[in-house]
């Protein structure tokens, strides 16, 4: 008699003719066996390379080597299979910040053949309820400090699927995940996970206000390790990685856990958030060599990096939102480091266009990462001439599969993934980001990308942050409107409006200048730092 399997996710994947095409052109190390577990594969790789006694996870409280981490992961997986009686295919919701305990819990879930569903720490009960309703997880592992909202969500009708909730980071709880795991041997009848079994579900961060649930298999994630981390980041075993993206965000999951494990590197997980100053100080205190965060945070870190120095830091990665060239140059002036920009998507797991070092071209995100093919196309999917703005289409070793979502047909067309971005590609193959497809501003017949105007505004010494959208206009169809956060000591008056408009006219084509400017105290962003332009469109009477 075969072991039970939960087919909830597999039965709700898109029809096969709506799947993306998976290609592995130019990648080595992707001849995976059919029986494959992501976590075992990463830990086996580390052991085989002689990294068993090297530090894997570090925090202010403790350091775990690869071998020690494996023992803890196995015990957590044993708790899930034996104490909670979970079966392959069950979803396990995870809630926690960037801590060693959260990382171990995530890895334990996937080791057990279950599907990890990590959620952003700041989500409230209603938002968690939406996730519970769609994913129907059987269990949850939650940092004790985040239990309040989960308890409230569990009381909703959607919470009925949760059969068990275990707390972690709860040293005084005899029924905590850690306490139960401590009593285990780490030896169990592990499920025979298949390479194409789903390993994780990653709800989008909601820049459009309508989160979706892409899924990725064990094979997908391991194939992604052989693409950007190997060929662009070129992460090494002696690297120490820090960063701010949440582990619940695939940018953070890849950069701050999966990719360092693939390389045998070490990750610093503070268990709490960073300020720009504390990030720079942490980089120096722990000897960090690679940093992951969002453009806005780098801009705020730059003065502290200039003041304190970052002598051991060798690579900095920006993703999650467009990187303005003004921010790239500000960081380079402060540190001497050429930023690695990248565009990825939750639907694609991680970065698929990027360049590093001498390959960086000013203003461009980069070229297609080895293993991926990218092109700029028209509405019919035909490639447009180089230098022409169109829609980005991508194909490679990862691709979009939504859980039970009609929007699959918008994202995948004829096997290609359409992330929803407007791009221009030059004659040398470099891709230049313009805007989200639905954020392209067409004013008096001209196409204007909001990020280009934002970059120009950020070059003005009075502007700390800004966001640009198009708003309806009877004469022009749309006009460019900017929302600006000013630095201390500057006033948002009519003189400042004119100064900023003149500055933009002198920096980029004059027709792109913002005809309307509102001054605000802050900009609406997701928990991962992405600007929410749909909320800018909803803002009224901003000062």
> Tens of pLDDT along 1-11?
457 899 999 99
**How high is the pLDDT of residue 207?**
45
Give the percent of the chain with pLDDT over 90.
77
Instruction: Look at the alpha carbons of 300, 303, 307, 310 in this order and tell me if their dihedral is positive or negative.
Output: positive
Domain ranges of the chain: 10-273+338-425, 443-538
**How high is the pLDDT of residue 445?**
62
The DSSP H or E segment spanning 65 is strand 63-65
For residue range 499-509, list pLDDT tens digits in order.
Answer: 999 999 988 87
For residue range 337-368, list pLDDT tens digits in order.
Answer: 999 999 999 999 999 999 998 999 988 999 99
CATH class of the 443-538 domain in this structure: alpha beta
Spell out the residues 6+ positions from residue 7 whose beta carbon is closer than 8 angstroms to its own.
89
The average pLDDT across 395-417 equals 96
Domain boundaries 10-273+338-425, corresponding CATH code: 3.40.50.12780
Start-end of H helices in 136-217: 147-154, 177-182
CA atoms within 13 A on the CB side of 285: 11
- In whole angstroms, what is the distance from residue 343 CA to residue 32 CA? 26
Spell out the residues 6+ positions from residue 378 whose beta carbon is closer than 8 angstroms to its own.
384, 390, 391
The 10 Å Cβ neighbour count of residue 441 is 24
Q: Which residues pair with 473 in a beta bridge?
A: 477
For residue range 230-254, list pLDDT tens digits in order.
Answer: 999 999 999 999 999 999 999 999 9
**How high is the pLDDT of residue 1?**
40
For residue range 24-48, list pLDDT tens digits in order.
Answer: 988 988 999 999 999 999 999 999 9
The average pLDDT across 523-528 equals 80
| 492-504: burial string, b at 16+ Cβ within 10 Å, e else | beeebbeebbebb
For residue range 68-121, list pLDDT tens digits in order.
Answer: 999 999 999 999 999 999 999 999 999 999 999 999 999 999 999 999 999 988
Q: What would the two tokens of residue 494 be?
A: 């009519």
User: What separation in angstroms does the CA of 98 have from each of 104, 121, 312, 363, 489?
Assistant: 11, 10, 22, 32, 35
Please check the confidence at residue 541 and state whether its pLDDT lies above 50.
no
User: What separation in angstroms does the CA of 320 have from each of 245, 250, 286, 343, 528?
Assistant: 9, 10, 25, 7, 7
- In whole angstroms, what is the distance from residue 455 CA to residue 460 CA? 9
């Amino acid at each position: 008699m075969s072991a039970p399997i939960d087919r909830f996710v597999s039965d709700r994947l898109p029809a096969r003719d709506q799947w993306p095409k998976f290609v592995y052109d130019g990648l080595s190390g992707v001849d995976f066996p059919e029986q494959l577990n992501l976590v075992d594969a990463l830990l086996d790789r580390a052991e085989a390379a002689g990294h068993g006694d090297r530090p894997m996870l570090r925090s202010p409280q403790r350091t775990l080597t690869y071998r020690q981490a494996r023992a803890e992961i196995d015990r957590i997986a044993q708790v899930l299979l034996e104490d909670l009686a979970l079966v392959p295919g069950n979803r396990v919701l995870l809630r926690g910040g960037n801590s060693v305990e959260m990382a171990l819990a995530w890895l334990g879930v996937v080791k057990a053949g279950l599907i990890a569903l990590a959620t952003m720490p700041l989500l409230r009960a209603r938002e968690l309820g939406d996730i519970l309703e769609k994913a129907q997880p059987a269990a949850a592992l939650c940092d004790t400090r985040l239990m309040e909202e989960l308890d409230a969500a569990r009381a909703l009708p959607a919470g009925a699927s949760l059969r068990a909730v275990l707390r972690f980071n709860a040293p005084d709880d005899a029924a905590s995940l850690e306490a139960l795991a401590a009593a285990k041997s780490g030896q169990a009848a592990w499920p025979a996970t298949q390479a194409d079994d789903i390993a994780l579900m990653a709800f989008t961060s909601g820049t459009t206000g309508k989160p979706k649930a892409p899924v990725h298999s064990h094979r997908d994630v391991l194939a992604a390790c052989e693409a950007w981390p190997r060929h662009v980041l070129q992460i090494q075993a002696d690297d120490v990685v820090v960063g701010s993206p949440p582990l619940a965000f695939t940018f953070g999951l890849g950069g701050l856990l999966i990719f360092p494990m693939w390389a045998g590197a070490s990750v610093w997980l503070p268990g709490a958030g960073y300020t720009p100053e504390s990030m720079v100080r942490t980089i120096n205190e722990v000897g960090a060599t690679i940093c992951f965060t969002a453009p806005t945070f780098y801009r705020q870190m730059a003065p502290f990096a200039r003041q304190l120095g970052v002598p051991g830091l060798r690579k900095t990665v920006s993703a999650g939102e467009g990187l303005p060239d003004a921010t790239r140059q500000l960081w380079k002036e402060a540190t001497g480091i050429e930023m690695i920009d990248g565009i990825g998507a939750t639907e694609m797991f991680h970065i698929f266009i990027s360049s590093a070092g001498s390959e960086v071209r000013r203003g461009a995100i980069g070229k297609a990462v080895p293993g991926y093919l990218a092109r700029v196309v028209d509405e019919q999917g035909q490639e447009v001439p180089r230098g022409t703005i169109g829609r980005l289409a991508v194909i490679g070793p990862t691709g979009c599969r939504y859980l039970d979502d009609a929007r699959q047909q918008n994202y995948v067309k004829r096997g290609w993934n359409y992330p929803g971005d407007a791009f221009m590609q030059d004659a040398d193959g470099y891709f230049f980001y313009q805007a989200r497809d639905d954020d392209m501003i067409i004013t008096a017949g001209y196409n204007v990308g909001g990020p280009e105007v934002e970059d120009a505004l950020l070059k003005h010494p009075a502007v700390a942050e800004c966001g640009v959208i198009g708003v309806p206009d009877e004469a022009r169809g749309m006009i460019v409107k900017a929302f600006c956060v000013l630095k201390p000591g500057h006033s948002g008056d009519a003189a400042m409006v004119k100064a900023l408009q003149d500055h933009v006219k002198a920096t980029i084509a004059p027709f792109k200048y913002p005809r309307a400017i509102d001054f605000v105290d802050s900009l609406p962003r997701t928990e991962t730092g992405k600007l929410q332009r749909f909320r800018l469109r909803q803002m009224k009477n901003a000062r």
